[in-house]
Amino acid sequence: MADPHELALRRAIQLAELARQHGNHPFGSIVTNAAGDIVLEAENTVVTGHDLAGHPEIKVATLAAAKFDAASLAGCTLYASTEPCPMCSGAIYWSGIGRVVFAFSQRSLNQIVQHLPTQTYLSLSCREVFARGNRPIEVIGPLLEEEARYVHLGFWDR
C-alpha cells in the first residue's frame, strides 16, 4: 500500500500541472480530514483570476475554516505541491489546520528563480512563519521533491 502522504502530494502536484496548463503558476493544494479523505482541493489562479491571493493554499485554508469547526481543523492536513509561501503560511496558521505536508521546498524553488530578473520571492520558510505563533503546526517536507520539480521546469524562464 502506498504512503498516504505520497498519494495526497501526487494529487497536489497534478493540480499544479493543471494550474500551469490553465496559464497560472504551477502550484496545487489539497486538504484531507483526520481520516485522510480529500475534502478540498485547489489550483493556483493568480494569473487567470487576476488575484494576488489566488494561491491554492489560501483558497483551501479559507474554505476549510468556513466548513469545519476548530477540533476538525486541528485534525486536517494541508498538502502542497510546493512549500507554502509566507502569505499562505499565515492563512494556514489562522485557519487552524494542524499539519502541512509539502513536496517541493521553497529553497529549491528559489534556486530555480533567483537568477531571473523578473521573479521576486520572500525567502522565509513555512516553519519559520509557524514558529512565530503560539499554536503548533506539524510540518513534513520536502517529500517527492524530484517529482514536484518537474512542473516548475521551464515555467519560470518565460
DSSP per residue over the chain, as a string? ---HHHHHHHHHHHHHHHHHHTTS-S-EEEEE-TT--EEEEEE--TTTTT-TT--HHHHHHHHHHHHS-HHHHHT-EEEEEEPPPHHHHHHHHHHT--EEEEEE-HHHHHHHHTT-TT-------HHHHHHTSSS--EEE---SHHHHHGGGTTTTT-
154 or 66, which is more confident: 66
pTM of the shown model: 0.95
57 is catalytic: yes
Q: Is the pLDDT of residue 118 over 80?
A: no
Largest CA distance in the chain: 44
Which residue among the candidates 41, 43, 57, 83 is catalytic per the annotation? 57
Output the nine-digit C-alpha cell for 93: 496558521
Residue 108: pLDDT band with limits 50, 70, 90: very high
Q: Is the pLDDT of residue 149 over 70?
A: yes
